[in-house]
Amino acid sequence: MRLIVPGSSGLSSLDDLDAAGLFRVYATPGPNWVRCNMVTSLDGAATGPDGRSGSINNEADHIVFEVLRASSHVVVVGAGTIRTEAYPPLSVQDSLVDLRRERGLPDILPLVAVSNRGAVPPTLSGCRDGRALLAVPSSATGLDAARADLGPDNVLVCGDDVVDLAALVAALRERGWGQVLTEGGPGLLGSFLAAGQIDELCYTLVPQVVGGEHPRTVGPQAVPAELHLETLVEQDGTIMGRWLVRRR
């Protein structure tokens, strides 16, 4: 994987990156940081013909995807994506565990599902060991069932009618989880942007055209945001970049 734009990594452009190099390239500037990682085709599709992002990502995307997870305290994902992509509770890729420990991050990587209804996605149901959490508003119809399913400590009540994402980020920080990664989907990312809670967008641009009608990576709730390029890496024609949100 070639580093094209080194940003503040301290590395040189055209360096060949191994996993340790990628950890440097994707290092965040402070203890509290929220970033989103998404993949898109050249024509802007967030999903392939089967309605999943799994059919547009590729090996290069997968490498960065795992490094981003391994660099985070917690992963936050919309219930829609967890249902569509059948997310199980997460674990860090074996080859990245030592690099993660060197950065003082714990071995466990909790997954927070965000659901306004309070519906526990089937693939997380019954997981009570702290690897699966649900963020819900206080009015969620499924609140009591979710507490019974995941355990009360694993249900985060944030907001009244819809999940308040600023309150969610604050609740995660209270647990010591400052490095927050969200993997979308588009609905949740739009709401995160509207709530002003995103510091960085990590995008993978795959050299593929999907055509047809497919969702974009950012849903309708989003407000316009301006970003600047921090780093760019490339492998086999796939471009992976970090763009930081400009704060006014």
Ligand X SMILES: NC(=O)c1ccc[n+]([C@@H]2O[C@H](COP(=O)([O-])OP(=O)(O)OC[C@H]3O[C@@H](n4cnc5c(N)ncnc54)[C@H](OP(=O)(O)O)[C@@H]3O)[C@@H](O)[C@H]2O)c1
| 41 counts as binding ligand X under rule CB under 6 A | no
Which one, 21 or 88, has the nearer CB to ligand X? 88
Which one, 165 or 240, has the nearer CB to ligand X? 165
Q: What is the largest distance, in Å, between two alpha-carbon atoms of the chain? A: 53
Least gap, CB of 14 to ligand X (angstroms): 27
| 208 counts as binding ligand X under rule CB under 6 A | no
Exposure string over 39-73, b if 16+ CB within 10 A, otherwise e = bbbeeebbbbeeeebeebbbebbebbbbbbbbbbb
| 216 counts as binding ligand X under rule CB under 6 A | no
| 185 counts as binding ligand X under rule CB under 6 A | yes
| 215 counts as binding ligand X under rule CB under 6 A | yes
Beta bridge partners of 40: 205
The Cα–Cα gap between 22 and 136 comes to 34
Q: Which stretch binds ligand X (CB under 6 A): 23-31, 86-94, 108-116, 222-230?
A: 108-116
Q: Which stretch binds ligand X (CB under 6 A): 19-27, 88-96, 113-121, 172-180?
A: 113-121
Beta bridge partners of 75: 111, 181
Which one, 105 or 119, has the nearer CB to ligand X? 119
Question: Considering only residues 147, 177, 183, 198, which one is a binding residue for ligand X as defined by CB under 6 A?
Answer: 183
Burial of residue 185 (number of CB atoms within 10 Å: 0-12, 13-18, 19+): buried
Full strand arrangement of the beta sheet holding 155-157: 2-5, 227-235, 238-245, 200-206, 33-41, 179-182, 74-78, 111-114, 132-136, 155-157
* Chain positions contacting ligand X, by CB under 6 A: 38-40, 46-47, 51-53, 78-81, 84-85, 114-117, 119, 162-163, 165, 183-188, 191, 215, 217, 219
